Amino acid sequence: MTTEGVTTELATSAVVPEQNYRTYWQLEWDAYLMNYAAGGIIFIGVLGNLLTIGVMMSQDFRRSPSSLVLSALALADTGNLVTGLMRWWLSHSFDLAVRNTSSAACKTHMFFTYFFGELSPAILVVLTMERFVSVYYPLRCREICSKRRLGIGLIFVTITYALINSYYIFLFALLPIGTGHSFCLLKPRYKKVDAAWYWVSSTLTAFLPFVIIFTGNILIAKKLMKAQQSRDTMATKSKKGRQSLTPMLMTVSWCFLFLNLPSCIYFIGVGKETWPTETLQDLLNTRIAYDIVNLLYYTNNATNFFLYCLTGTKFRNVLLGILTRACLKTRRSEPATSVTDLTVESRIDDTPV
């Protein structure tokens, strides 16, 4: 996962002359997807995540332990969009290779790209576990999944993934190649380490979260179906309040599974060298396939806000209240025109030139 994107990019750009780009439909679509689709996903995703954080920090959600996890998820999603997808957008739109600007930029960007890419699914796993406890152990949910414990858990997960991804700081550097340019690449002596780390990174980013979230959602759905059949299991008001969040948060989890499944399949094929790369046409097809699964992967970081609006009545109401208050505050801050000002203006207008 660490070298595939760079390898594909270098191979296609080296083989295809710039004046012949229009003869290959894959490169035309590559430019369209990474210029317009990627830019739209970044803008919509960052805006939606900021609005999500604003809603979760409101008085209506602040006391809920889930609000802390959802705020952390929005921050991680924003970081993933800004460091990951924005790199491709800048490269295609402005011909700016962020990683190749300096050795520090290479190491820093590699670290944050994979750090946020692995942190976001890890937070979703925490969210799934919190929902699992809420559904299976409702009477002990406030004790087991208190806001303090969830906060400690999030800090532990963040530090753990930061330490794991410090690998990229030491193994990658800005290296010169035959064309006279320097690229952010793996140091040659660490190729065997990177081959093994490929599966570690893939497991942390996709495979393990996929299995945990899928299993958790199945168990939660099974429990909710049983609860529907026996109404006495949802008798208390507090229990209803806790479970009202469950459908909304399960929707987020299922969306993660469906949008990440194509990238899982793609990178398994890359690791096992399943996809053909013998001819230029094969490389171009691989490139357009990578673009599609890449955009689907990052779409997951941009859709949670809309899923909250679609499935969460309370979220919609709080958001509407925040936007309404913001509009009223903006109108009140506009300078009002007094009667005296109108009189003076009318006199000036009536004065003959």
Which phi and psi angles does 186 have, rounded to 5°?
Answer: -70, 135
The span from the CA of 198 to the CA of 308, in Å, is 33
Both tokens assigned to 26: 């894959």
With residue 203 as reference, give the H or E element that holds it: none
* Dihedral angle, C-alpha 10, 11, 15, 18, nearest 10 °: -40
Contacts of 143-148 spanning 24+ positions with Cβ under 8 A: 145/65, 146/65, 147/63, 147/65, 147/68
C-alpha distances in Å from residue 101, one per residue of 104, 180, 185, 240, 295? 8, 14, 13, 54, 24
For 253-281, the pLDDT digits (tens) are 889 989 988 988 888 887 777 888 778 88
Cβ contact 170:87 at 8 Å: no
Q: Which of 70, 28, 79 is nearest to 52 (CA)?
A: 70
> Global pTM?
0.83
Both tokens assigned to 223: 């429990």
Both tokens assigned to 149: 């414990």
| Helix locations, the chain, DSSP H | 4-15, 25-32, 38-56, 59-62, 65-80, 86-94, 103-136, 141-144, 147-164, 167-171, 191-202, 208-229, 237-244, 246-271, 280-299, 304-311, 313-333, 339-350
Q: What is the DSSP string of 220-267?
A: HHHHHHHHHH-GGGG-SHHHHHHHHSHHHHHHHHHHHHHHHHHHHHHH
pLDDT at 32: 93
pLDDT at 159: 97
C-alpha distances in Å from residue 155, one per residue of 49, 50, 68, 72, 79? 20, 21, 11, 10, 16
pLDDT at 24: 79
Tell me the one-letter amino acid at 145.
C
Q: Is 351 left (phi over 0), alpha (psi -120 to 50) or beta?
A: beta
pLDDT digits (tens), the chain, 353 positions: 444 444 444 444 444 555 555 567 888 899 899 999 999 999 999 999 999 999 999 988 988 888 999 999 999 999 999 999 999 999 999 999 999 999 999 999 999 999 999 999 999 999 999 989 988 998 888 889 999 999 999 999 999 999 999 989 999 999 988 777 899 999 999 888 888 887 887 788 778 888 898 899 899 888 888 877 765 544 444 444 445 567 777 888 889 989 988 988 888 887 777 888 778 888 888 889 999 999 999 999 999 999 999 888 889 999 999 999 888 888 877 665 544 454 444 443 443 33
pLDDT at 349: 44
pLDDT at 46: 98
Q: What's the CATH superfamily of 4-350? A: Rhodopsin 7-helix transmembrane proteins (1.20.1070.10)
Per-domain residue ranges for the chain?
4-350
The 10 Å Cβ neighbour count of residue 222 is: 11
Helix axes 38-56, 280-299, angle to 10 degrees: 20
For 37-80, the pLDDT digits (tens) are 999 999 999 999 999 999 999 988 988 888 999 999 999 999 99
